[in-house]
Amino acid sequence: MPKRGRKYLEAAAKVDRDKLYPRAEAVKLIKETAVTKFDPTVEVHMRLGVDPRHADQQVREVVNLPHGLGKTVRVLVFAEGEDARLAEEAGADYIADDELIKRIQDGWTEFDVAIAVPSMMGKVGRLGRVLGPRGLMPNPRAGTVAPGADLPRLIQESKAGRVEFRVDRTANIHAPIGKASFTQEQLIDNLNYLLDAVKRARPAAVKGAYIHRIVLANTMGPGIRLDTNEALS
């Protein structure tokens, strides 16, 4: 195992690895165990009782966090003509013309959210090799493929704290809920919104326990296990 630094070890010593923490106590502890010089991101990691190999057990949804994410979100929009003008006026950081699409094909991904109008999906589809592994591929189910009239709303939501989550191949979900500098109440609110969205996204085909484990962590800090029953109550 890699050698841990002094600050990490001091933070980890505050966490009882055998304890399942209620939400309020876990969030208080996540703020106390921030070990970086910058304002770390607080993340939620969940182990689900699904089999991602089956199409009817996929979990993918979006949630608008009430207090945002505390960071600048760079939005790229695949659009042309009038749709591109709407996106630019709504605050899109990048409009993906043919030149920018070529840059993405070559590996450029300096943006956080990608949105597309349906007429551009033919071109976007060729970028799946680059965008897919990074979770940046526009998808109708996630609401990131929409007509031009919806672009201002989607861009505003993305910049305000719209989070897309999906289960990975190991049946886990990873999602940010804010920064360690947020108040305890803000982090708990964002956590509750995310948990509610994951619960609503439960596939009908899943039998038995759906959410097995929930862990809170901040950037480069120790994980804190939540009491799943309390968190989902």
Is the C-alpha dihedral spanning 45, 50, 51, 55 positive or negative?
negative
Can you give the pLDDT at residue 9?
87
Can you give the pLDDT at residue 2?
61
Can you give the pLDDT at residue 133?
87
Can you give the pLDDT at residue 103?
95
Q: Which of 143, 218, 141 is nearest to 177 (CA)?
A: 218
Q: Which domains does the chain have, with CATH numbers?
A: 15-68+162-231 (3.30.190.20), 75-160 (3.40.50.790)
Is the C-alpha dihedral spanning 71, 99, 132, 222 positive or negative?
negative
Q: Which residues of the chain have pLDDT under 50?
A: none
